[in-house]
Amino acid sequence: MRYPSMRMSPQQKPGPQSAGTQLGVREVIAILPLRRLTIAQVVSLFGDFLAIFGVFSIVSFRMHGSPAEVSGILLAYMLPQAFVGPMAGVLVDRWNIKWTMVASDLIRGVLVLALLRADALWQIYAVMIGLSAIGAFFMPSQAIAIRSVVPTEGLVAANALMMQTFQITQIITPGIAGWLTGKLGETICFWLDSGSFVFSAAMVMSLAIARKTAQGKAMGTMLSDLRDGVRFIFTHSTLAFTIISMAAGLFAVRCYSALIAVYVRDVLHASQGLFGTLGTLVGVGMIIGTQIVTKLSKSRSKEHIMMGGLFMLAIGILFLALIGTVPTTILATVWMGVGVAMVIISAQTLMQGQTPMEMMGRVSSSSMSVMALAQAGGLMVSGSIAQMIGIRKSYLVTSALLTVIAALGWRVVNKRAADRALEA
């Protein structure tokens, strides 16, 4: 079944959909604009992962960077999203979505080439900060584009598709990047990433994305709009609940990822090979999770799926804390990948479905800002805590925190369901 012209009207009000009307991945991929967005994402992500691999390779092996300097690459990429994102969302709500995405791609395509001449760590950090700041305009624009071309009942499948392509690309890219850098050096990664941005821009240019925008307003009004967006999030209980849940999940994931290399070395007494395998297995778990979420969404609420994902993360990290063996670590890693997919896909779908189209940029960018801060916090806090109490106890604390958040969230979700049943 094809849906060649199915799209939401900008004035369509978000609201709960019947579980039986949910579309599957095959149905949403038949929507031509979404298919082109997906292709653009695959190519662009492939280039991004190549470039990140090249940067890590340069800093780790050519510059002999310390662990803090290597971690600084991720922080340089995350923090600008946290601080630029909210205002970027205000501007995205005023600008033409298609041309914002195209401009973001082309600017980043030029900017990444600066890495070809970067021979100092501060220069690499500066480029990563620039890429992140410009990318802060692309991400909310892409969220609006998906919302514009996909019907509400297809948002779960569309988000699952996007996550699946992300994970598949993440799994296959390291091997290709390693081969390319070994044969041709790190510079080929940056050239290919630049080309991927140009390809993505060309694909986006072929789309027709209709959306009303409010243009030409003064900075004072823009700041007022920013306050309105933040106020909307925190006075809308479902959105606030969703963002807090997703932030908790990503915080836990970053706590896990920041310490897993040391966990493999000091707790499992294993080699680098297992560390690399675990990175792949997280992606495998997330791919499995996308399939589970798509099926569960037909009979379960997105809030319940999200809380279930948080519980799965808590259980997986608890296994790492209590049982330090290779088989349980492998099982826990795949398990957590499934949990991450359940949290992120459900949360993204809830935000897209509950946010008015005219506020999508502000809400999307503000939520991404919170996500970036949560991940940066996980990276910065986990090492200090682990140094004080040990890795396994650190994982135990993370698991307990997630369990409390998930339990409170489950209670809230069930209360809302009971209230809705009484009203009906």
Among the ranges given (70-84, 219-233, 300-314, 342-356), the one the predictor scored with the smallest mean pLDDT: 219-233
| b/e sequence 102-138, b meaning 16+ C-beta within 10 Å | bbbbbbbbebbeebeebeebeebbebbbbbbbbbbbb
| pLDDT score, position 3 | 30
* Spatial separation of the C-alpha atoms in residues 207 and 204, rounded to whole Å: 5
When the pLDDT of each residue in the chain is averaged and rounded to a whole number, the result is 77
* Spatial separation of the C-alpha atoms in residues 247 and 369, rounded to whole Å: 10
State the amino acid at position 306 in one-letter form. Answer: M
| Tens of pLDDT, residues 273-298 | 676 677 778 878 888 888 888 888 87
Q: Stretch 183-200: mean pLDDT, rounded?
A: 88
What is residue 324's DSSP assignment? -
Report the topology of domain 23-211: Growth Hormone; Chain: A; (1.20.1250)
CATH architecture of 229-424: Up-down Bundle (1.20)
Dihedral sign from CA coordinates of 398, 399, 404, 405? positive
CB 239 within 8 A of CB 232: yes
| Tens of pLDDT, residues 102-155 | 999 999 999 999 998 888 888 999 999 999 889 888 888 887 888 788 887 887
pTM, two decimals, is 0.66
Give residue limits of the domains in the chain. 23-211, 229-424
| pLDDT score, position 376 | 76
23-211 and 229-424 share one CATH topology?
yes
Phi and psi at 369, nearest 5°, equal: -65, -45
* Spatial separation of the C-alpha atoms in residues 77 and 81, rounded to whole Å: 8
* Spatial separation of the C-alpha atoms in residues 42 and 235, rounded to whole Å: 36
Pick the most confident of 60-74, 240-254, 310-324, 404-418.
Answer: 310-324
Instruction: Return the C-alpha torsion angle 385, 389, 390, 393, nearest 10.
Output: -90
CB 178 within 8 A of CB 60: no
| pLDDT score, position 225 | 64
HSE of 151, CA atoms in CB hemisphere, 13 A: 19
Among the ranges given (74-83, 258-267, 286-295), the one the predictor scored with the smallest mean pLDDT: 258-267
| Tens of pLDDT, residues 24-57 | 777 888 888 888 888 888 888 888 878 887 887 7
CB 401 within 8 A of CB 255: no
